[in-house]
């Protein structure tokens, strides 16, 4: 990591410049009316999310800072923030930009001072309840910070990990930073606990969009999200040393919460999750040792649950999971023509996969379904993260679900075409799974039985996809000339 003084003139290098841009574009709404941090705040946030607006609550009751949110609740805003063309920025463009950044990481720089440490609060001045932290859902355990990036270092390798981890407030100077079993933070917790040393941890809130996006990426444990953040931003991420521990944290953030993990207190907690269910978690408590912030700091919050910003950011990890499933199935099923793996919050937390084949015998699809579920994958085994695998003939477009549905409901007439595979070890986020995290998997053979091929052919008009209506329809007030 090189050392430099802070000197940058970049496009979006902090959250504030992005917020100014959104406000100029009429994309940001201000709420000056006093709002209660309980159901009232969550209700208004959810309504603003439905409008896909960014927002600032200037007066959250009991809080000393404004609450900002919704800046990334549309995909095109990522395009705007990351220097791409917002008008044509979709999932494919986003996925590609992330892959480029991962392949060309940019080392962060350490700076001697930064705005995130303009105000330093320690000792009795620490009060997490002075932050406008919402309680989102009825049965949530309490108030949750949802847009913090958690920063830790592995005790042996020294490699930094950064991820978005929901954090429950349990006291003026105590919180619980959650880490799912697949997260690198969980591995850091385990390694520090085993080492017997105190574990330093920091949360940065209100980081620039590139850094927040990088934190949401699922990277291998030996890669560092600061480097991907720099690549996405087009300039190195600036880091400053914490005031109460040795960690480096973003110099341009709005807030930094510094702490030490207390493995002596584990806290069971509950929050409404991205797929629209409650998710129980259990994590060690953190003793907060300092809060630092900008002079006129804005707190950032992401509306929890099945809501737009949570899901656009969640997609950052989803792209990688889809790639991993695709790669594993391609290896397990070399005869696959096309494979489409997708995760959508509306279909739960698990993936669905469509595989097209040029079928040679009627047992082949079931065999393919079994082999595909048995595939590996660098993030998860396929069976753990995939709920349903559908095999279709090669005339079906695997990316068009109405085409795939048509095949399922028009080409399958025997029970052997619908496979129910019981007792599969599932991902913990499949909340419906039973004892031992066991759940069912579904395979559907939506191919034509070979004996029926003649009667199940789809009616097509030859050459229809080449027709251009403008070559035929008369223009207003005139007649099309003969070809
Ligand atoms: C809004 C939001 C909240 C999240 N909350 C959690 C969480 O509480 N625990 C967790 O392990 N992952 C959570 N994630 C997912 C991780 O940030 C994401 O999977 C990341 O890739 C994990 O990185 P890691 O493997 O380096 O730990 C959340 C993601 C988003 C976008």
Pairing, β 67-69 against β 2-3: unpaired
Ligand 1 atom with the smallest distance to the CA of 304 is 1
Helix and strand tally (H, E) in the chain?
A: 12, 22
Q: What's the 474 CA to ligand 1 centre distance in angstroms?
A: 56
Domain ranges of the chain: 88-295, 315-460
- The pair of structure tokens assigned to 109 is 């720089």
CATH class for the region spanning 315-460: alpha beta
Atom of ligand 1 nearest to the CA of 162: 26
Probe residue for ligand 1, chosen from 166, 310, 316 as the CB with the greatest number of ligand atoms within 8 Å: 166
- CATH code linked to domain 88-295: 2.30.110.10
For 396-445, how does the pLDDT look when each residue is reduced to its tens digit (9 = 90+)? 999 999 999 999 999 999 999 999 999 999 999 999 999 999 999 999 99
Ligand 1 atom nearest 271 alpha carbon: 8
170 in Cβ contact with 141 (< 8 Å): no
pLDDT in tens, 54-92: 999 999 999 999 999 999 999 999 999 999 999 999 999
- Give pLDDT, residue 8: 38
Pocket test for ligand 1, best of 49, 70, 164 (most atoms within 8 A of CB): 164
pLDDT tens, residue by residue, 13-52: 789 999 999 999 999 999 999 999 999 999 999 999 999 9
Share of the chain above pLDDT 90, in %: 90
- Give the span between the Cα atoms of 180 and 218, in whole angstroms: 12
3-state secondary structure of 412: coil
Residue nearest to atom 29 of ligand 1 (CA): 164
Compute the distance from residue 165 Cα to the ligand 1 centre, in Å. Answer: 5
pTM: 0.92
Give the Å distance between the CA of 438 and the centre of ligand 1: 23
216 alpha carbon – ligand 1 mean position (Å)? 6
pLDDT in tens, 103-158: 999 999 999 999 999 999 999 999 999 999 999 999 999 999 999 999 999 999 99
**Residues pairing with 425 in the sheet:** 438
Q: Going by CA atoms, what residue is nearest to atom 26 of ligand 1?
A: 184
* Closest C-alpha to 185, from 208, 152, 218: 152
- Predicted confidence band of residue 4 (pLDDT cuts 50, 70, 90): very low
The Cα–Cα gap between 208 and 251 comes to 10
Residue with the two structure tokens 């070890």:
425
Which residues line ligand 1 at a C-beta cut-off of 6 Å?
A: 146, 161, 163-166, 178-180, 183-185, 216-218, 302, 310, 313-314, 317
Please report, rounded to a whole number, the percentage of residues in the chain having pLDDT higher than 70.
97
Contact assessment for residue 207 and residue 252, using Cβ atoms and an 8 Å cutoff = yes
Question: Which two three-digit tokens encode residue 339?
Answer: 């494979």
337 has a pLDDT exceeding 80: yes
Q: Which atom of ligand 1 is nearest to the CA of 317?
A: 21
Q: Is the pLDDT of residue 3 over 60?
A: no
Counting atoms of ligand 1 from 1, which one is nearest the CA of 180? 11
pLDDT of residue 2: 43
**Residue 457: predicted pLDDT:** 85
Those residues whose C-beta lies under 8 Å from the C-beta of residue 337, and which sit 6 or more positions away, are: 355, 356, 357, 358, 394
pLDDT tens for residues 185-204?
A: 999 999 999 999 999 999 99
The per-residue pLDDT for range 339-370, each reduced to its tens digit, is 999 999 889 999 999 999 999 999 999 999 99
Ligand 1 geometric centre to CA of 114 (Å): 26
Res. 390: pLDDT tops 80: yes
Q: What whole-number distance in Å separates Cα of residue 163 and Cα of residue 131? A: 21
Q: Give the closest residue to 359 by CA, choosing from 401, 395, 399, 404.
A: 395
Confidence of residue 464 (pLDDT cuts 50, 70, 90): very high
Q: What is the mean pLDDT of the chain?
A: 94
- Å from CA of 419 to ligand 1 middle: 33
> What is the distance of C-alpha 227 from the center of its chain?
18
**CA–CA gap between residue 268 and residue 280 (Å, rounded):** 7
| Residues found in the chain | 483
Q: How far is the centre of ligand 1, averaged over its atoms, from the C-alpha of 194 (Å)?
A: 23
Distance of CA 163 from the midpoint of ligand 1 (Å):
6
Q: Are 355 and 375 in contact (CB under 8 A)?
A: no
Contact 293, 256 (CB under 8 A): yes
Question: What's the average model confidence in pLDDT over 219-237?
Answer: 94
pLDDT of residue 29: 97
pLDDT for residue 310? 95
Strands 148-153, 160-164: pairing kind: antiparallel
pLDDT the model gives residue 11:
52
């Amino acid at each position: 990591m090189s050392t430099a003084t802070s000197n940058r003139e970049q496009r979006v290098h902090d959250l504030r410049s992005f917020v100014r841009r959104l406000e100029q574009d009429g994309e940001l709404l201000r709420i000056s009316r006093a709002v209660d941090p309980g159901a009232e705040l969550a209700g208004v946030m959810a309504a603003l999310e439905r409008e896909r607006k960014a927002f600032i609550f200037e007066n959250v009751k009991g809080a000393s800072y404004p609450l900002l949110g919704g800046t990334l609740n549309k995909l095109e805003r990522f395009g705007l923030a990351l220097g791409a063309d917002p008008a044509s920025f979709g999932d494919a463009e986003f996925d590609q930009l992330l892959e480029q950044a991962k392949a060309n990481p940019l080392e962060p720089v350490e700076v001697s001072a930064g705005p995130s440490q303009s105000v330093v609060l320690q000792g009795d001045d620490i009060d997490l309840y002075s932050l406008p932290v919402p309680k989102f859902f009825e049965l949530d355990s309490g108030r949750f910070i949802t847009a913090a990036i958690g920063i830790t270092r592995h005790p042996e390798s020294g490699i930094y990990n950064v991820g978005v981890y929901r954090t429950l407030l349990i006291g003026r100077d105590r919180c619980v930073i959650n880490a799912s079993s697949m997260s690198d933070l969980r591995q850091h917790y385990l390694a520090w606990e085993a080492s017997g040393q105190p574990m330093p941890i920091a949360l940065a809130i209100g980081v620039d969009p590139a850094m927040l996006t990088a934190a949401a990426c699922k990277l291998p444990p030996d890669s560092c999200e600061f480097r991907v953040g720099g690549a996405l931003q087009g300039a190195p991420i600036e880091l400053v040393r914490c005031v109460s521990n040795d960690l480096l944290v973003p110099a341009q953030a709005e807030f930094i919460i510094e702490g030490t993990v207390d493995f002596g207190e584990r806290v069971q907690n509950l929050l409404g999750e991205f797929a629209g269910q409650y998710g129980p978690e259990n994590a060690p408590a953190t003793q907060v040792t300092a809060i630092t912030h900008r002079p006129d700091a804005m707190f950032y919050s992401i509306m929890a649950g099945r809501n737009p910003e949570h899901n656009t950011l969640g997609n950052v990890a989803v792209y990688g999971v889809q790639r991993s499933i695709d790669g594993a199935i391609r290896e397990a099923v070399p005869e696959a023509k096309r494979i489409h793996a997708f995760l959508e919050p509306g279909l739960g937390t698990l993936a669905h996969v469509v595989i097209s084949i040029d079928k040679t015998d009627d047992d082949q699809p079931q065999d393919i379904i079994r082999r595909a579920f048995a595939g590996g994958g660098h993030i998860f085994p396929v069976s753990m993260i995939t709920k349903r695998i559908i095999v279709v003939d090669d005339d079906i477009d695997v990316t068009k679900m109405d085409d795939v549905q048509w095949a399922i409901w028009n080409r399958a007439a025997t029970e052997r075409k619908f496979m129910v595979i019981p007792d599969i070890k599932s991902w913990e986020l499949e909340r419906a799974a039973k004892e031992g995290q066991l759940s069912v998997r579904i395979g559907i053979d939506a191919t034509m039985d070979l004996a029926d091929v003649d009667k199940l052919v789809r009616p097509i008009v030859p050459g229809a996809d080449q027709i251009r209506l403008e070559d035929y329809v008369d223009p207003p007030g005139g007649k099309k000339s003969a070809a």
